[in-house]
Structure 1
Amino acid sequence: MDTKFSVALHILTMISESKEVLSSQALAESVGTNASYIRKVIALLKNAGLITSQQGRSGYQLSKSPKEMTLLEIYFATQEVEHINLFQIHQNANQACPVGQHIENAMSPIFSNVEEQLEKELGQETLDNVITNLYQSANQKCI
């Protein structure tokens, strides 16, 4: 399963909330992966214009506030797609079978509707919502 989206949310949250300059190694330790994977995700975020770094200096900055960064744009940055396409329809259905002949047309509108709803929801959620949930979760654990 592809985890780049959740790793990107982790990275962006750390960049937003850390008072310290974060290296890819420090990010990797928090995420629980290796620094080369973090650098791959960071490259995707940089290519999408979501984070910046300065030449000759370590560390990263968000290119806009967490309130302005939607989860949909983060998703698209990490998946390198223009539309969410979660459900793949199997290939090579038997066209001589009445079900095999029509199953793709039966499933496609349902799958498309679910994917459109997900895009809409992710477009309404922001990195700031993730950060807010993080602090709420941390405060609940301290009680």
Structure 2
Amino acid sequence: MTIQGENFAAEHTGPFATLLERDFLGFHGKYFIGESLGLTGCEVSLNRLPAGKGIPFVHVHKKNEELYIVLGGTGIFYVDGNEFPVSEGSLIRVAPSGERAYRAGDADLYFICIQAEAGSLTQATLEDGVRLATKASWMTK
């Protein structure tokens, strides 16, 4: 269920362990959240790849770079002919033209993938964020 307000959308997807129940074009274990949350600047997918399984093709993108954030498990990542191990805490940025694929190791591989148009970031949080006097319920007044 998604809840929405004027300036937000929130959804509880449940445990990552249940991602294998989701289907995306015949692939189980991938859930794109952009449409349900109304994302306008990036696409995000939640992913669970079963142990020993791998994406069955190498691919590139036309415009989007990807950031993979490994949350758990182990695996092998392939980029432009280079293969390297990944595990919890691994961060992998791949340019649009980077040839990529990945495979889970002995344990299921859990990761988040964020896609955004390469070169579209014009400012980082320090330049964009503005502190307000508003207080949330847990903040001392």
> TM bucket by the smaller chain?
under 0.3
Q: Which has the higher contact order (CA 8 A, sep 6+)?
A: 1
Tell me the TM-score normalised to structure 1 length: 0.27
Higher percent of residues as helix = 1
What is the TM-score with the length of structure 2 in the denominator?
A: 0.27
| Higher fraction of strand | 2
